[in-house]
């Protein structure tokens, strides 16, 4: 019993770390401590300042996870591991055939999640507005910001739980549940936001944590989140 209680300490600590990061991200968004002046547009300057500050925070979280889970935890950052056995989830329709693996599920959900995000973002952000974008700097910045944001948020809200929970032998549903709950609440104030944003982000948090656990890698989580963020940043940068 004492050993089990001791094993809970790292789970509680990483949960506290991630919960602390949530309001910190909101503060960084409104008042980024790293104030970069790279572009004429203040919108772009604020975004690049935010993204690089959060990237630094993500690196710190990696260090914390390494301290708790060691090299076993860092193994989940592998981008080459794209396949793995799918754990059935009949309640959401995940009923894999014998020949179906994460190579199939990852592609399918990448398409579905990106399309659903596009629909929600259209009605929340774009509806009634224009849709023009310039190749430079908008399109290039969209790709750069989407990649940095996807990486940072996956580190903070998914990798952290997956690595530590796995190291200490708890059910994968613990990591998925924590990832869903915290990521969902944070997105009440994000894009997409409100209750639809919470529900969508909670599912994404749960599903991407599942992808890491079952592939033992970072590829699908980063890829799906990146595609989502391309849609979101495209909408936010439209003139």
Q: What pLDDT, in 10s, does the model give residues 101-145?
A: 999 999 999 999 999 988 888 777 656 555 555 656 788 999 999
> What are the Cα distances from residue 71, in Å, to 29, 66, 164, 229?
32, 7, 11, 29
- How far apart are the C-alpha atoms of 86 and 67, rounded to whole Å? 29
Burial 4-17 (b: 16+ CB within 10 A, else e): eeeeeebbeebbeb
- Under 8 Å between Cβ of 102 and 82: yes
**pLDDT at 130 (0 to 100):** 56
- How far apart are the C-alpha atoms of 174 and 11, rounded to whole Å? 9
pTM: 0.91
- How far apart are the C-alpha atoms of 234 and 118, rounded to whole Å? 10
- From first to last of the 239 residues of the chain, give the pLDDT tens digit: 445 555 789 999 999 999 999 899 989 988 888 888 888 888 899 999 999 999 999 999 999 999 999 999 999 999 999 999 999 999 888 999 989 999 999 999 999 999 998 888 877 765 655 555 565 678 899 999 999 999 999 999 999 999 999 999 899 999 999 999 999 998 887 777 788 888 989 999 999 999 999 999 999 999 999 999 999 998 888 75
- How far apart are the C-alpha atoms of 53 and 35, rounded to whole Å? 9
> What are the Cα distances from residue 183, in Å, to 40, 126, 180, 197, 212?
33, 23, 5, 10, 16
Q: Which residue has the tokens 């056995």?
A: 85
- How far apart are the C-alpha atoms of 162 and 36, rounded to whole Å? 33
Give the mean pLDDT of the chain.
90
Question: Counting Cβ atoms within 10 Å, is residue 220 exposed (0-12), middle (13-18) or buried (19+)?
Answer: buried
> What are the Cα distances from residue 217, in Å, to 39, 124, 235?
36, 33, 30
**pLDDT at 115 (0 to 100):** 94
**pLDDT at 137 (0 to 100):** 75
Q: What are phi and psi of 41, to 5 degrees?
A: -75, 125
**pLDDT at 92 (0 to 100):** 86
Residue 96 has which token pair?
Answer: 């894999």
**pLDDT at 55 (0 to 100):** 97
């Amino acid at each position: 019993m004492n050993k089990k209680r001791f094993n809970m300490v790292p789970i509680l600590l990483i949960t506290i770390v991630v919960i602390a990061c949530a309001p910190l991200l909101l503060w960084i968004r409104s008042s980024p401590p790293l104030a970069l002046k790279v572009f004429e547009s203040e919108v772009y300057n604020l975004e690049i300042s935010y993204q690089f500050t959060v990237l630094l925070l993500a690196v710190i979280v990696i260090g914390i996870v390494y301290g708790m889970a060691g090299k076993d935890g860092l193994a989940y950052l592998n981008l080459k591991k794209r396949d793995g056995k799918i754990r059935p989830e009949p309640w959401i329709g995940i009923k894999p055939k014998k020949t179906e693996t994460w190579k199939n599920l990852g592609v399918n959900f990448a398409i579905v999640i990106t399309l659903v995000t596009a629909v929600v973002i259209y009605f929340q952000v774009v509806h009634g507005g224009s849709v023009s974008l310039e190749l430079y700097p908008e399109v290039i910045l969209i790709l750069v910001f989407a990649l940095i944001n996807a990486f940072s948020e996956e580190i903070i809200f998914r990798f952290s739980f997956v690595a530590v929970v796995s190291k200490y032998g708890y059910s994968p549903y613990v990591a998925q549940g924590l990832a869903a709950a915290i990521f969902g609440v944070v997105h009440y104030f994000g894009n997409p936001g409100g209750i639809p944003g919470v529900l969508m982000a909670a599912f994404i948090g749960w599903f991407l944590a599942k992808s890491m656990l079952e592939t033992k890698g970072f590829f699908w989580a980063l890829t799906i989140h990146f595609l989502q963020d391309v849609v979101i940043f495209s909408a936010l940068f439209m003139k």
